[in-house]
Amino acid sequence: MSEEQEPSPPAPAPTAGAGRPGERFADALDARLPVLDGGGRLLRKAFPEHWSFFLGEIALYSLILLILTGVWLTFFFKPEMREVVYQGPYVPLRGVLMSEAFDSTLHISFDVRGGLLIRQMHHWAALVFVAAICVHLLRIFFTGAFRRPREMNWVIGVTLFMIALAEGFAGYSLPDDLLSGTGLRIAQGIMLSLPIVGTYVSMFVFGSQFPGEDLVPRLYALHILLLPGALIALVTVHLILVFHLKHTQWRGPGRTNRNVIGKPLYPQFTASSTGLSLTVFGVLTLLAGLAQINPVWAYGPYRPDQASTGSQPDWYVGFLEGALRLVPPWETVVAGHTIMWNVLLPAVVLPALLFLVLYAHPFVEQRLTGEWHEEQHLCDRPRERPVRTGLGVAGITFYGVLLLAGGNDIIANAFRVSLNAMTWILRIALVVAPVIAFLLTRQVCHALAETEQKRLAKGDETGEVRQTVEGGYASDHRPVTRFPPGAPRKPLSSRAPRTGKPDRELPARESRRRG
């Protein structure tokens, strides 16, 4: 079955200037692709101007640098556990038996021109990537940008965070040095803590008794193929939804639920975003050249009978290390099976609850506040939502205590205090500090809101002082008519009407012209 194609309309008569190569190329391209008509609307898409909206872009550009440096590293890294004798230029390790993975890591660091710089760029970019995702999620949480219709984008963001943690741990474990091997040993202990199926899970992951010879090749496949593919796919869907659902913005003059005011995608936003990308690349390159990170040659190759003193994982898994150190040595025997609560609770139950709370929060909050059926396109200021802000600060405090506990031995040694006393102080703080942080944060939010309402009701001082009839003195005030970006146009007790999906986007200049 054939499909007949309608005849193309006759070409327009040539006009003055139509013979220029650039115009002919644009006309020919637009006749085949939606460049001018379809792309014009996309290029005019407005992006609000605020520094907090750049946090997600920092994560994106860190991911791009991770991909570029990671591709380069794959040309030299050998994910093999076959043992070799090191004969490279690093004298302290000459003649030492090590895996080919660790040997190739030393080869990249000392023999390949620029290898150490690229390796450290890759590691620093990984740390910044996870940090940017964390801060970006916190910005979305505290401003309420996860509400309808953006719940699925929040779910995608939390999933990206979880995959980034797995990707970072996989890459951190690939060199097969003593530090990463210690982390893998802890990971195996977590697998063994699973009731009934723990030994089977460990054998499936490692392929044999620890450490085995299959883990590094398997981690390599995850690190360079499966997990990056999932990250790229989710980032793509995330960006598509950002364009489709419109961008959130801070409240202010002329900003409503039905418009978006800011810089158009091209050329203003494109120029500023390009500058940010170059800044991210430059800062990470400077860090790689000036700040040493993960010197695997100082740790040596992994040996199961050794452990590095004062070993600390990368910061994003430090809270798991702290949780393992704070839980008392609880064990229970049930039907002949030993349940190691001191490992199962902090390393399995706690992360599962953490991500369950993150996934469920947008839906639970909107149900409790009655906003689940209304679309929200304006950001809240944290002070306007005392309970949400208090919960967020309490969560950060909880995480901070666990992060400190991950280095309790180093802290105790540095400050010359008892390790047992330090552990008990952190155990108490893990329960008490989040509650105190919640109460204080909520009180501060109420105080800030009350102060602002008084200012809105009383007005700003003019600086003029007059004498009253009674003989006293009073200062004159003028009504507050203009607000800084992000400030509400009405008192905090009143809320702007919430309408449906926004029907237009206006760059800043066009919005002012139409207003």
More confident residue, 505 or 209: 209
DSSP class of 346: I
Provide, rounded to the nearest whole percent, the portion of the chain with pLDDT above 90: 56
pLDDT-wise least confident of 103-107, 304-308, 480-484, 494-498: 494-498
pLDDT at 29: 65
How much is the pLDDT for 22?
Answer: 65
d(CA 409, CA 423): 9
Side chain identity, residue 263: K
- Whether residue 425 contacts residue 433, with contact meaning beta carbons closer than 8 Å, is answered with no
Look at residues 355, 353, 371 and name the one whose alpha carbon lies nearest to residue 363. Answer: 371
Q: Choose between 511 and 290: higher pLDDT.
A: 290
pLDDT of residue 465: 80
pLDDT at residue 110 greater than cutoff 60: yes
Highest mean pLDDT of the ranges 4-18, 290-304, 307-321: 290-304
* pTM over the 0.85 mark: no
Higher pLDDT, 185 or 4: 185
| pLDDT at 293 (0 to 100) | 93
For the segment 257-306, what is each residue's pLDDT rounded down to a tens digit? Answer: 888 888 888 888 889 999 999 999 999 999 999 999 999 999 999 988 87
Asked whether residue 6 carries a pLDDT value surpassing 50, the answer given is: no
* Rounded Cα–Cα distance for residues 188 and 206 (Å): 9
**Distance of alpha carbon 121 from alpha carbon 287, whole angstroms:** 7
Which two three-digit tokens encode residue 448?
């800030």
pLDDT band for position 247 (cuts 50, 70, 90): confident
Orientation of helix 178-192 relative to helix 151-173, angle to 10°:
120
> Which residue carries 């108490």 as its tokens?
428
CB 147 within 8 A of CB 248: no
Return the number of other C-beta atoms located less than 10 Å from residue 211's C-beta. 20
Enumerate helices (H) and strands (E) in the chain, giving the number of each. Answer: 19, 11
Least confident segment among 35-49, 246-260, 399-413, 430-444: 35-49
Q: What is the pLDDT of residue 99?
A: 94
Over 90: is that where the pLDDT of 343 sits? yes
- Of 166-180, 250-264, 480-494, least confident by mean pLDDT is 480-494
**Higher-confidence position of 515 and 398:** 398
**Short-list 72, 230, 73, CA closest to 163:** 230
Query: Predicted confidence band at 30 (pLDDT cuts at 50, 70, 90)?
Result: low
Residues contacting 442, CB < 8 A, separation 6+: 386, 387, 389, 390
Q: Is 335 left (phi over 0), alpha (psi -120 to 50) or beta?
A: left
pLDDT in tens, 181-207: 888 988 999 999 998 888 899 998 888
Query: What's the pLDDT score for residue 261?
Result: 85
Each domain of the chain, given as residue ranges in start order, spans 45-361, 381-460
Average pLDDT, the chain: 85
Instruction: Check whether 471 has a pLDDT greater than 80.
Output: no
Q: How confident is the model at residue 34 (pLDDT cuts 50, 70, 90)?
A: low
C-alpha span between 405 and 425 (Å, rounded) = 10
Measured on CA atoms in the order 58, 359, 401, 381, is the torsion positive or negative?
A: positive
What CATH code is assigned to 45-361?
Answer: 1.20.810.10
Phi/psi at 20 (5° precision) = -70, 140
Q: What pLDDT does residue 422 have?
A: 93
Please tell me the predicted confidence (pLDDT) of residue 515: 39
Give the helix ranges, DSSP H, for 406-507.
408-415, 419-458
443-470 tens-digit pLDDT: 999 999 898 888 777 777 777 888 777 7
The DSSP 8-state label assigned to residue 478 in this structure reads E
Q: By the 8 A CB rule, do 249 and 378 touch?
A: yes
| Contacts by residues 304-311 (CB-CB < 8 Å, ≥ 24 positions apart) | 304/181, 304/185, 304/210, 304/211, 306/178, 307/178, 307/182, 307/185, 308/178, 308/179, 308/182, 310/409, 310/410, 311/179, 311/182, 311/183
187-206 as b/e: b if 16+ CB within 10 A: bbbbbbbbeeebeeebeebb
296, 91 Cβ separation under 8 angstroms: no
The top-scoring range by mean pLDDT among 30-44, 225-239, 472-486 is 225-239
Mean pLDDT throughout 418-428?
A: 94
In this predicted structure, the answer to whether residue 434 has a pLDDT above a threshold of 50 is yes
If one compares 410 and 511, the residue with the highest pLDDT of the two is: 410
Q: Report how far apart, in Å, the C-alpha atoms of 181 and of each of 221, 427, 464 are.
A: 18, 28, 71
Q: Which residues pair with 262 in a beta bridge?
A: 507
pLDDT tens, residue by residue, 202-224: 998 888 888 778 889 999 999 99
